[in-house]
Copies of this chain bind each other. A is one copy, B any other.
Amino acid sequence: MRMAELSRRSRVSIPTIKFYLQQGLLDRGRLTSPNQADYGESHLERLRLVRALVEVGGLSVAATHELIADLDTPGRHLDERLGRVVRAIDGAPGDPDDTPAPARERVARLVDEHGWSDTSADYPARRRLEQLVATLARLGADDVLASLDRYAGLASEIAAADLDLLARHDREDAVLEHAIVVTVLGDALLGCMRRVAQAAESGRRYPRGGQESTGRGSSHA
C-alpha cells in the first residue's frame, strides 16, 4: 500500500509517519520509484504499536526505539514481551528496602491467596502495591486494609476481562498494541466509571431531601 493508505488505515497522519520513519521507529517500505515506497501489513501493525507506545504510553522516541529493538530479539515469548512493554511504561520499581516489612509480608500473602504467585517480587506494580499498603497503614486506614481481599478478588476479575480483550487478536504486535491501550487507558477508564458508580451508590444510600436528610441513612446498617 502507499503511504496515504497506511495513514488512513492506521489513523496516523502522514507527517507523523514520516517522523517515525526518520527516527527509525518504522522500517522503510520497498521502493517502487525514487519517491515512492510500498508498505505491507507488517508496517501497519508496527505503526499501530509505535503509536500506542508514544501517544498512549507516553514513551519517548528513544525509549520506544530501545523497546522495539528489544521486542524484536528472536525467541521472546509473548508473555515476556507483554511484561517488557508494561515495565517500560510503568518505569523502574522503587527500592524494596524503603518499604516496611509488614507491608511486604501483607502483599506476599495477598499474592499467594489470589493465585498471583507468578509475578516476581521485583515487578513494578507489586513494589508500588507494597508502598500503597504501607501508606494506608501509616494513615491508620485499617478498614481499607481489611477490605484488600475483596478488592483483590475484583482485580482478578478485571484482569480476566483485560486478557479476554487481548485474546481476540491474532498478531503479536496487535496484542502488544492493545496491551498498551488497556494498560494505560484502562486504569483511567475504570477509575472514572468507579467514580460515577460511587456517586450513584452514594445517592441511593444517603438520599437527599427525604426523612433522613439530617443525618446518615439507616438502611445500610
Which residues A52-97 have CB closer than 8 A to chain B? Answer: 52, 56, 77-80, 82-83, 86, 90
Taking a contact as CB atoms closer than 8 A, the residue among B79, B111, B115 that contacts A206 in the complex is B79
Query: A148 to B142, alpha carbons, bound, how many Å?
Result: 32
Closest to A119 in B: B199
**B residues less than 8 Å from A152 (CB atoms):** 193, 197
Taking a contact as CB atoms closer than 8 A, the residue among B77, B111, B187 that contacts A191 in the complex is B187
Which residues A147-177 have CB closer than 8 A to chain B? Answer: 147-148, 150-152, 154-165, 167-168, 170, 172, 175
- The smallest C-beta distance from A190 to any residue of chain B, in angstroms, reads 6
- The smallest C-beta distance from A191 to any residue of chain B, in angstroms, reads 4
Query: A123 to B204, alpha carbons, bound, how many Å?
Result: 17
Q: Is A42 an interface residue (CB 8 A)?
A: no
- The smallest C-beta distance from A3 to any residue of chain B, in angstroms, reads 18
Which residues A104-153 have CB closer than 8 A to chain B? Answer: 110-111, 114-119, 123-126, 128-129, 132, 135-136, 138-141, 143-144, 147-148, 150-152
Query: A188 to B160, alpha carbons, bound, how many Å?
Result: 19
Task: Write the A181-221 contact mask toward B (1 if CB under 8 angstroms, else 0).
Answer: 11101111111111111111111111111000111100011
Taking a contact as CB atoms closer than 8 A, the residue among B77, B167, B199 that contacts A208 in the complex is B77
**B residues less than 8 Å from A158 (CB atoms):** 151, 154, 190, 194, 197
Is there contact, CB below 8 Å, between B201 and A132?
Answer: no
Q: List 26 A-B contacts (CB under 8 A).
A: A51-B139, A77-B208, A79-B203, A82-B206, A115-B200, A116-B196, A125-B193, A136-B181, A143-B178, A144-B181, A144-B185, A144-B186, A147-B161, A147-B165, A148-B189, A151-B193, A154-B158, A155-B193, A155-B194, A159-B200, A163-B220, A167-B205, A167-B220, A172-B215, A187-B194, A190-B194
- What 7 A-B pairs are tightest by C-beta distance, nearest first? A125-B195, A159-B197, A155-B193, A118-B203, A129-B192, A79-B206, A116-B200
Task: Identify 15 new A-B residue pairs, CB closer than 8 A, beyond the known A163-B198, A167-B220.
Answer: A11-B139, A78-B206, A78-B215, A118-B204, A125-B199, A132-B192, A154-B154, A159-B194, A159-B197, A163-B201, A175-B216, A183-B198, A187-B191, A187-B194, A190-B194
